[in-house]
Amino acid sequence: MEVTGFDTWVLSLAVFLPLVGALVIMLIPKVYETELKLVALGSSLVALVVGIYIAIQFDYGAAGDLQFVVDKGWIDVINSRYIVGLDGLSLPLLLLSLVVVPLCLIYSWNHIPDPGNPKAFFVLLLILSTGMNGSFVAQDMILFFVFFEIVLLPMYFLIGVWGGEDRRYASLKFFLYTLFGSALMIISFLALFFLSKDASGELLQTFDMRVLTDAAGVGIIKSTQVWIFAGLFMGFGIKVPMFPFHTWLPDAHTQAPTVGSVILAAVLLKLGTYGFVRIAIPFLPEGAIAWAPWIGLLAVIGIIYGALGCLAQKDMKRLIAFSSVAHMGFVMLGIATLTDFGINAAVFGMIAHGLITGMLFFVAGSVKERYHTLEISRLGGLLKSAPRMGWILGFASMASLGLPGLAGFWGEFPAILSAYNPGAGLSEELFRVYMVIAAIGTVLAAGYLLWLYQRTAFGEPTEEFAGHEIADVNRDEWIAWTPFLIGIVLFGVWPNLIFNVTDDVVSGITASVEAIAAGN
Amino acid sequence: MLLNQFLILGAVLFSVGVYGVLARRNGVMVLMSIELMLNAVNINLVVFGVQHGVVSGQVFALFVIAVAAAEVGVGLAIVLLLYRNRTSIDVEDFDLMRG
Amino acid sequence: MWMLENAFLIPLIPAISFVVILFFGKRFIGADRVHVVGITALGLVWVLSAVAAFQWTQRVENPPPDAIVQVQHHGDDHGDDHGDDHGDDHGDDHAAASGHSGDGHGDGHGGGHSSPLIRPVISTFSDWWSNAGVTFAVGTFVDGQTVLLLMVVASISLLVHIYSTEYVKGDRRYVHYYAFLSLFTAAMLFFVMAQNIIQLIVGWELVGVCSFALIGHWWEEKPNTDAALKAFLTNRVGDVGLLVGMIVLWGTFKTFDIDVINTLISTNPGAHHFALLVAACCLMAAVASKSGQFPLHTWLPDAMAGPTPVSALIHAATMVVAGVYMIARLYPVFYEGFSIGTSSINLMAFIGGFTALIGAGLAFAQWDIKKVLAYSTVSQLGYMVMALGVGAWTAAIFHLFTHAFFKACLFLGAGSVSHAAHHTFDMRKMGGLRKDMPHTYRTFVISSLALAGIFPFAGFWSKDEILLGSLVGQENGYPLMLIFGCAVALMTAAYMTRVIWYTFHGEYRGHGHPHESPKVMTVPLWILAGMAVLAGAFNLPGPVLEPIGLEGLAHRIQTYAEPSVYLNGLGLSHPDPSLNMALVGLALALSGILITYLYYWRRLGLHGLTERNRYARRGYTILENKYYLDHLYNDVVVETVKRPLAKWANRFNQNVLDRTVNTAGETARDVGRWVYKWIDQGAIDGSVNAAARGADSSGEGLRSIQSGKVQNYGQLLFGAAAVLAIVFVIVV
């Protein structure tokens, strides 16, 4: 696609507008609170409008190709370039990220958690937004890495400053854990830079992800690929998070302020799975084939393990956090099959999980705000005290347990289904065992979610809160939540909205994997 | 030439200085001990210069004397300021850098 | 045939009604008038279903050329052209249906095989999802089986809607109640016209979630929510089987299209036997959970916690028949997987028969009238599954059809009784209601007779076909199933007589004055009772109709509903009607009623009879002998069944099965706690924290060196220099 005029700008605009907003806010004195909130919301909304423009201009017939590509010199010394571009895999995730941030801003409009300071809070959210948007469009490994790391810092401060009681521990754990993964990841990036060759055997020495995708690991022998993949696996797997690297997640989620949890669940976790699909698998097909059974194993362990963890929780937010581990297990299982089917399901699962778990965290945050506790045994009768919120919680729980007709199902069922016939010569028997285990995981999912719902929403309110007036969903919350609810229904009823967009990219990726597998 | 005697003198002088730096608690005494150590070095420089028949040893000694004068000037100024602020020149009292 | 091609309208209407009631009900319609929306929608649905049913019969009677399957083989051409021609029906795309139509075992009654094989009407609408370059359409699949279920669901649901206006009047959540009734109906209608197995799954789960919402309708009380959770979770357990089974089918045939799967199996029976066996076993688990089959039936009696009309809807027309319907819909899978044609016992038949037996046994031990009916449903569903298991496809669907009406009538009758008698369902607090509630009494008795299988009520005809099917089977009979079936026939009659005795006869044992329910409740009862009498007429055997010259009307359900386009390929045969079997079945049912009647009658006159026995024992030898007979029947047969067996079964049910379910839940929770505490927080998180602590404590150790005192640093410096100097000296 020939990129001309305004189209050369749009991607960068969508990425950096929030950052510009953040800079402008920094210049506004603290006392002009409304103005700086408006600037924050405005910049993120304009970014969203740009995102919608991109979605309209996007050529869906060529969803497999990168569009709106910009390729400019950046750091010539190491041959790293400013390359951004968008294909069917990036588009839904970019839109998700663009949608979530303004909604979070609206949600926290009048609810800045202690210790207040909306200016800093909004600035951090906007910087976070730039990092997330950038990660999904970057097509150069160094650029990707920069965006990937930019995300860490605002999140660290969001948790560490505006978090719960144990915030310092949680934020430090989050930061160091993910940084540890990133360190291994950058080593792998460097290894790719130095070792990749093109078809004629010339060393490429490039960070350009387009070139590396085309090269598909040619010239890197299998054992090296396995090692490089291991580095990437640590980097992305911690972010997902995969069992057994998941322990930062419950702490971070529990301590983070509501919108922090929402963004963490809705977008940040997707960076890991996106990395697998965008970088790890296409760059290192042989490494991926070698690792796939193990990824699948960790995925199904995560599914069961996360569900068991949920059953043990006494805190609502922590329970939802553990459910993320289980749900991302389904996503990773889909990826591990290395089939079109599975990876499409995984991408769908990312979006669905983002919407659904984001929604659940929103509700949990609002419950916390009203009850000042999330201890499940102290809650109860939410349907009675705040019926609309109870309904929304029930709706989101149903979506989360994978009810057909809502978004969660289309991430879960095809992922399980894809394990029946894994690609690239992977062991069918092994993956069929995974399939059955994953299917059992759906029972446990229903178990913990409905149990949660029974204990929090059904019945009469506990004595402690019996006389209290519990406010139902307010205006800000409606504005922030409605798009989530609509998205959950819309994608559930018409899953092709996403499958159609991602399919071309994914079949390109699996085709190269299959080609490698056939060559062996 | 009485090389060994000079060297022994230097060593003794240096040891006295080291002792003073490490053991004395009075800041002024510490500075003076540092002077002793520098002078021990000066003696060595001059002696080795004569031994090897070059002047650079004596030139260096002059440099050291100049630097030592400056150092003592700054050092005494610090000690003076410390005394004004803390009414003490006991080095044991100053551990702001403790980890 | 417009209605058949646009059948999607039928589930769409109640779905819209759901949205309207839920979101606009309170504000724009008025909370106490939302039933108008629901009833209007269901009325429309009923009319459209009737039109669809009529058009389907027209299609069978005067088939358009593209609806008839050519009998000759022309190769396997499925799959490639599939999915290209959305929007019109597939016509003769997959016409290679019947290679086996010639080999009739006992061929030919009432036109089953003699009529042409009619293709279902399949309409696809749009790409629903595409994945891996393959596109799956959403669409409707309408054939005789579908329209039959449409009629059943629409009729029962409409009557339940009407009945509920009185029954749940003034309920705390009237709006939600009607909203979910609509959604429930919509989900079931969507399910029955599923064009592919994904739609089956969707409808299946939606039905489950609606039942969750309705069983837990009064969620303030914990037992209700427990029941709702149990229903949903038990169903989820079965859903594992559903998902895996469907995936195996997909993996084997690479399509989700029900028509293609059925056609592929029926044109090439014998292929993929193992895969089909696995799929059938997995799907059987799903059926067991949804249709309350042993050992996953325990949720069903608990589900009585919901409002009674909902129980009627769940148990008669929607939720629980979904399992039976799915077997019937994917019958070739089960037929080939379980080798129904050649075996004389198989998993499905056994589970069905066993469930029928234990369900009937448990029904004796209940005092709650709704629970008796619930176990009765379990038992009757077992009958249907057993019928499918022995190859009697039509008999099963026929029984589903008749059962829907009389069971709905019974449940609504029970609701009417409880409405009258102080909202209790305990039969010990009822009695003598026949005088106060004549309409309820009469309809209840009619339906009970139908359930018991007394000539000429509907249940007689369908039950007879099932017993006949078990007797004849396909290549071999199914003797064990026949025994089970006969035993259940007897027991069914007996426990229903017991219910009628306790509820309507004797003296009133409750509080207050019972009164007959208003017309809005009794009219639906009478309509259903009428159907309980007449529904059997839809599939009368030929010999019954010949004397009156109406043999053309024989076996209508077999003619219209049976998907012979698939079943013929499997070589499914139909048994000849047998007068003897009918008489045996009737005799069993009658004796069941008689035994129970005598038992309770004697108990009623216990005092007087004993007196007479004691004083005139020798003089009344015949009477005495009769008494021995009574004794034998009552104390040995009924007592063994009633007391130890039923108690044992009940105990097994409560203590073993139910406890297993509970223990499984608790164990999962405990394991979760343990894993969380020791492995997650202890080992995994522990190691992470240990790494951090290691860094921390080493730093702590080194920290003491940094005293901040210059002299300490100096000491270290000179000390180190001295050591180095010594080393230097020694080494050099």
Q: Which of C440, C435, C350 is nearest to C389 (CA)?
A: C350
Query: Please, what is the end-to-end C-alpha distance for chain A in angstroms?
Result: 35
**What ipTM describes this predicted complex?**
0.86
Tokens of A131: 């990092």
Tell me: cis bond preceding C65? Omega within 30 of 0 counts: no
Q: What is the DSSP letter of C348?
A: H
> Would you say C598 and C127 are in contact if contact means Cβ atoms under 8 Å apart?
no
Q: Which residue has the higher pLDDT, A507 or C72?
A: A507
Label residue A2 by pLDDT band (50, 70, 90). Answer: low
Residue type, A279: I
Residue B94 CB neighbours (<10 A): 16
Looking at chain A from residue 243 to 302, which residues have their Cβ under 8 Å from any Cβ of chain C? 244, 247-248
Tell me the count of A-C CB pairs closer than 8 A: 136
Name the residue facing B22 among C706, C707, C718 (closest C-beta).
Answer: C718
Q: What was the pLDDT predicted at C647?
A: 53
Label residue A313 by pLDDT band (50, 70, 90). Answer: confident
Find chain C residues with C-beta within 8 A of B21's C-beta: 711, 714
Q: What residues have CB less than 8 Å from C27, skipping those under 6 apart? A: none
Alpha-carbon gap: C692 to the closest alpha carbon of chain A (Å): 9
Name chain A's partners: 3 or more CB pairs within 8 A: C
Rounded alpha-carbon distances, angstroms, from residue A191 to A178, A421, C564: 20, 32, 64
Mean local confidence (pLDDT), C333-360:
84
- Asked if residue C653 has pLDDT above 60, the reply is no
Residue C122 CB neighbours (<10 A): 25
> Would you say A415 and A330 are in contact if contact means Cβ atoms under 8 Å apart?
yes
Least confident window among A274-288, B71-85, C468-482, C605-619: C605-619
Name the residue facing C709 among B18, B21, B91 (closest C-beta).
Answer: B91
Residue appearing with tokens 């291994």: A184
User: Which residues of C sit within 8 Å Cβ distance of B?
Assistant: 703, 705-711, 714-715, 718
Residue B49 CB neighbours (<10 A): 17
Burial letters C471-503, b for 16+ CB under 10 A, else e: bbbbeebbeebbebbbbbbbbbbbbbbbbbbbb
pLDDT in tens, A130-177: 999 999 999 999 999 999 999 988 999 999 888 888 888 888 888 888
- Report the DSSP beta bridge partners of residue A315: A375
Q: What was the pLDDT predicted at A349?
A: 92
Q: Do A312 and C225 touch (CB under 8 A)?
A: no
Alpha-carbon gap: A450 to the closest alpha carbon of chain C (Å): 7
Is residue A197 classed as helix, strand or coil in its secondary structure?
strand
Residue C151 CB neighbours (<10 A): 18
**Rounded Cα–Cα distance for residues A129 and A266 (Å):** 12
Q: Which of C495, C494, C466 is nearest to C481 (CA)?
A: C466
- Which of C698, C700, C710 would you mutate first to test chain B, the one with the most B CBs within 10 A? C710
**Residue of chain C minimizing CA distance to B98:** C708
Find chain A residues with C-beta within 8 A of C684's C-beta: 244, 247
CB hemisphere CA count around A339 (13 angstroms): 26
Rounded alpha-carbon distances, angstroms, from residue A98 to A137, A381, C365, C396: 12, 35, 62, 55
Name the residue facing C130 among A345, A416, A500 (closest C-beta).
Answer: A500
A308 inside 8 A of chain C by CB: yes
CATH number of B3-93: 1.10.287.3510
Label residue C656 by pLDDT band (50, 70, 90). Answer: low
C684 inside 8 A of chain A by CB: yes
pLDDT, mean over chain C: 77
Q: Which of A154, A174, A156, A162 is nearest to A18 (CA)?
A: A154
**Rounded Cα–Cα distance for residues A30 and A33 (Å):** 6
- Residue B29 CA, distance from chain mean position: 10
**Rounded Cα–Cα distance for residues C196 and C212 (Å):** 25
**Rounded Cα–Cα distance for residues C117 and C135 (Å):** 29
**Rounded Cα–Cα distance for residues C383 and C401 (Å):** 13
The pTM assigned to this predicted structure is 0.80
> Would you say A352 and A288 are in contact if contact means Cβ atoms under 8 Å apart?
no
Q: What was the pLDDT predicted at C81?
A: 40
> Would you say C542 and C94 are in contact if contact means Cβ atoms under 8 Å apart?
no
Tokens of A250: 């419950």
Q: What was the pLDDT predicted at C665?
A: 67
A377 inside 8 A of chain C by CB: no
Mean local confidence (pLDDT), A344-361:
92
Q: What residues have CB less than 8 Å from A432, skipping those under 6 apart? A: A419, A420
Domain boundaries, chain A: 290-520
Name the residue facing C206 among A345, A405, A421 (closest C-beta).
Answer: A405
- Report the DSSP beta bridge partners of residue C129: C136
CB hemisphere CA count around A160 (13 angstroms): 16
Q: What is the DSSP string of C463-487?
A: HHHHHHHHHH-SSS--HHHHHHHHH
Label residue C652 by pLDDT band (50, 70, 90). Answer: low
Name chain B's partners: 3 or more CB pairs within 8 A: C
Q: Is the CA virtual torsion C182, C187, C190, C193 positive or negative?
A: negative
Q: Do C706 and B98 touch (CB under 8 A)?
A: yes
Q: Which of C411, C404, C544 is nearest to C110 (CA)?
A: C544
Find chain B residues with C-beta within 8 A of C714's C-beta: 21-22
Residue appearing with tokens 């909304």: A45
Q: Do B99 and C714 touch (CB under 8 A)?
A: no
Q: Which of C477, C481, C485 is nearest to C453 (CA)?
A: C485
Calculate the dihedral angle through the C-alpha atoms of C638, C640, C641, C647, rounding to the nearest 10 degrees. 130
Residue type, A479: I
C532 inside 8 A of chain A by CB: no
Rounded alpha-carbon distances, angstroms, from residue C732 to A269, C721, C722: 60, 16, 15
Query: Residue A324, class by beta-carbon neighbours within 10 Å (0-12 exposed, 13-18 middle, 19+ buried)?
Result: buried
Mean local confidence (pLDDT), A503-509:
86
A494 inside 8 A of chain C by CB: yes
**Residue of chain A minimizing CA distance to C172:** A384
pLDDT in tens, A445-498: 888 888 888 888 887 887 777 777 778 888 888 888 999 999 999 998 888 888
Q: Do A247 and C219 touch (CB under 8 A)?
A: no
Q: Do C710 and B91 touch (CB under 8 A)?
A: yes
Is residue C447 classed as helix, strand or coil in its secondary structure?
helix
**Rounded Cα–Cα distance for residues A381 and A462 (Å):** 7
* Helix pair C321-329, C197-215: axis angle to 10 deg: 170
Mean local confidence (pLDDT), A252-261:
89
Is residue B21 classed as helix, strand or coil in its secondary structure?
helix
| Backbone dihedral angles phi then psi of residue C197, each to the nearest 5 degrees | -70, -20
Query: Residue A147, class by beta-carbon neighbours within 10 Å (0-12 exposed, 13-18 middle, 19+ buried)?
Result: buried
**Rounded Cα–Cα distance for residues C256 and C251 (Å):** 10
Tell me the count of B-C CB pairs closer than 8 A: 31
* Helix pair A428-456, A407-418: axis angle to 10 deg: 160
**Rounded Cα–Cα distance for residues C98 and C269 (Å):** 11
pLDDT in tens, A181-224: 888 999 999 988 888 887 777 887 888 888 888 888 777 888 88
- Asked if residue A64 has pLDDT above 50, the reply is yes
Q: What was the pLDDT predicted at C648?
A: 58
Name the residue facing A404 among C202, C675, C677 (closest C-beta).
Answer: C202
Rounded alpha-carbon distances, angstroms, from residue C347 to A273, A484, C282, C399, C474: 43, 45, 11, 20, 16
Tokens of C716: 């270290």
Find chain B residues with C-beta within 8 A of C721's C-beta: none
pLDDT in tens, C130-149: 776 677 778 888 888 888 88
CA angle C512, C514, C515 (to 5 degrees): 135
Residue appearing with tokens 């259903």: C528
Alpha-carbon gap: A437 to the closest alpha carbon of chain C (Å): 9
Query: Please, what is the end-to-end C-alpha distance for chain B in angstroms?
Result: 51
Name the residue facing C711 among B91, B96, B98 (closest C-beta).
Answer: B91
CB hemisphere CA count around C546 (13 angstroms): 6
| Backbone dihedral angles phi then psi of residue A86, each to the nearest 5 degrees | -140, 130
| Backbone dihedral angles phi then psi of residue C135, each to the nearest 5 degrees | -110, 135
Least confident window among C587-601, C613-627, C706-720: C613-627
Name the residue facing A398 among C209, C229, C237 (closest C-beta).
Answer: C209
Calculate the dihedral angle through the C-alpha atoms of C501, C504, C510, C513, rounding to the nearest 10 degrees. -170
pLDDT, mean over chain A: 87
**Residue of chain C minimizing CA distance to B26:** C711
**Rounded Cα–Cα distance for residues B15 and A120 (Å):** 59
Q: What was the pLDDT predicted at A520?
A: 65
**Rounded Cα–Cα distance for residues C389 and C344 (Å):** 10
Find chain C residues with C-beta within 8 A of A171's C-beta: none
Name the residue facing B96 among C708, C711, C714 (closest C-beta).
Answer: C708
Q: Which of C680, C402, C114 is nearest to A251 (CA)?
A: C680
Query: Does an H or E element contain B10, and which?
Result: helix B3-23
Mean local confidence (pLDDT), A404-430:
86
**Rounded Cα–Cα distance for residues A210 and A198 (Å):** 12
Find chain B residues with C-beta within 8 A of C718's C-beta: 18, 22
> Would you say C219 and C225 are in contact if contact means Cβ atoms under 8 Å apart?
yes
> Would you say C433 and C503 are in contact if contact means Cβ atoms under 8 Å apart?
yes
**Rounded Cα–Cα distance for residues C473 and C345 (Å):** 10
Residue C680 CB neighbours (<10 A): 25
Alpha-carbon gap: A38 to the closest alpha carbon of chain C (Å): 32
Q: Which residue has the higher pLDDT, C191 or C676?
A: C191
Mean local confidence (pLDDT), A109-116:
81
C239 inside 8 A of chain A by CB: yes
Alpha-carbon gap: B94 to the closest alpha carbon of chain C (Å): 7
Find chain C residues with C-beta within 8 A of B18's C-beta: 718
Label residue A297 by pLDDT band (50, 70, 90). Answer: very high
| Backbone dihedral angles phi then psi of residue C307, each to the nearest 5 degrees | -60, 145
> Would you say A207 and A140 are in contact if contact means Cβ atoms under 8 Å apart?
yes
